[in-house]
Amino acid sequence: MNTIAKFDISDSFKITGRGLVIAGDILQGTITTENHITVKIKTDELKLKIKGINFLDKRIDKYQKSP
C-alpha cells in the first residue's frame, strides 16, 4: 500500500446525501479528489474515496502540504 499523505484528524461526522466528512490537518503529502484512502482508527480500518476537498470554505480538487 502506498502512503500518499498523513493526517491529524480532529473531527468526523456524516452528512445525509454526502457521506462521511473528515476534518483535520494534513501533516505531509498530497491528496486529490478521487483518491482512495485508508483511515485507521485503533484496530479498525475504513477504506474511503475522497469525493471533495474543502479548504478555507472553498472547494478544491487538490491539496498539498507546504514544506
Query: In total, how many domains does the chain have?
Result: 1
Regarding predicted confidence, which is higher, 4 or 59?
Answer: 59
At residue 58, the pLDDT reads 94
Provide the residue range defining the domain that includes 16: 5-62
23 falls within a domain? yes
pLDDT category of residue 62 using cuts at 50, 70 and 90? very high
67 falls within a domain? no
The one-letter code for the residue type at 5 is A
Q: Hey, what's the cell of 45?
A: 480500518
5-39: per-residue pLDDT in tens?
888 899 999 999 988 899 999 999 999 999 998 88
Q: Hey, what's the cell of 11?
A: 473531527
CB distance 50 to 33 below 8 Å:
yes
At residue 63, the pLDDT reads 92
26 falls within a domain? yes
41 falls within a domain? yes
Predicted TM-score of the model (pTM):
0.76
39 falls within a domain? yes
d(CA 67, CA 64): 9
d(CA 44, CA 48): 13
The one-letter code for the residue type at 29 is G
